[in-house]
Amino acid sequence: MKFEIHYKLNFAAIKCKIRIEAYMKKQILNPERIGQLIDLVLSDVNTGSIHSEPIVMESIQFDRLEVYDATNQNCWSFRSKGDTRNGVELNLGNMVSGYPYVCLGHSFQDSECAYIAGCYSLEGEVYAQIQQSLTYYPGGGYSAKGHFRKAKNDTTKLIRSDWEVINFQWMLLVLWEKTKNNQAFKNLLLSIPADAHIIEDTSAFHTYTSNVWGAKNPILSNLRKGKSNQIVEMLMSEGVTTIKLLDQYAKIVRNRINTYGVWTGKNATGKALKLCQLALLNNIEPPIDYDLLNQANIYWFGKKLEF
């Protein structure tokens, strides 16, 4: 009786192992085959690089609507964590985790929270408490934006009335602090070509601010989407059904398509990042308007800032 039970248990375990191995075999294609499929999908697409004229600080204006032609200008766009270009992970978004830093003497887990803290930079204990809560906010910048910027509640009623007067300069200051105080982020900026326009890709968003902080390129967006869907269909036809793997290879395809369409938008985040990069390359500070910030009487954790 004991032998029979032991035999049945072992047989069940063996069958389970066989099923698992068969399943995993379907999910893991030969790397050479994956490369062949990706090359096939991209066979009719230009995946080369473009070089532009050098970019100088004086040419960058935050509130100007830009038109970047990706067919003849070196455009490096980022959308989400894991976007890659020429081996460089473009983790440039304010909400991207993994780049904690000290901003004007106080630690933040991401630059989105530091930026939002500026919305509440008035005198008073309630403002200092809000800023303190943003130093380590559960869910990071994404959750913080939902509560402290998008929502209509008693807290957002406290946002500075002149916020849109100073917000560009505050963003530049916040990102410069991040650049100075996080070596990995500094290295990331330095790994991007000096002639590249850094662009926050907001093609998938349709709010007013998406055209302010980023730029859109519908031609490129549609092409990337079509080619990403194509590689997913090919992989599924060969037995790959794991969402994580499908997303991984779709992103590889998407990241290799860059030189199509025209970007339009003010692209303020991209400009702030570019100014920080140029400052590093020239060993100077970016052109932060400290006079404007001083006139705004900014309070930071209960103390008035003076630049």
- The model's pLDDT over 256-271, given as tens digits with 9 standing for 90+, comes to 999 999 999 999 999 9
In the predicted structure, residue 23 carries a pLDDT above the cut 60: no
Query: 199 or 23, which is more confident?
Result: 199
Amino acid type, 161: S
The alpha carbons of the chain give a radius of gyration, in whole angstroms, of 24
CB atoms within 10 A of CB 49: 12
Q: What is the pTM of this model?
A: 0.89
Query: 238 or 297, which is more confident?
Result: 297
DSSP-derived secondary structure for 116-184: HHHHT-SSSHHHHHHHHHTTT-TTHHHHHHIIIIIS-STTGGGS-TTHHHHHHHHHHHHHHHHHHH-HH
In the predicted structure, residue 7 carries a pLDDT above the cut 90: no
pLDDT confidence tier of residue 6, bands split at 50, 70 and 90: very low
Token pair in block for residue 168? 């560009």
In the predicted structure, residue 11 carries a pLDDT above the cut 70: no
pLDDT confidence tier of residue 169, bands split at 50, 70 and 90: very high
pLDDT confidence tier of residue 190, bands split at 50, 70 and 90: very high
- Read off the pLDDT of residues 205-245 as tens digits, 9 standing for 90 and up: 988 899 999 999 999 999 999 999 999 999 999 989 899 99
Q: What's the rounded mean pLDDT across residues 67-92?
A: 95
Dist CA 265 CA 179 (whole Å): 24
What's the mean per-residue pLDDT of the chain? Answer: 92
Contact 112, 144 (CB under 8 A): yes
Please give the pLDDT value at position 208: 86
- Min mean pLDDT across 9-23, 152-166, 209-223, 284-298 is at 9-23
Contact 110, 97 (CB under 8 A): yes
- Read off the pLDDT of residues 90-149 as tens digits, 9 standing for 90 and up: 999 999 999 999 999 999 999 999 999 999 999 999 999 999 999 999 999 999 999 999
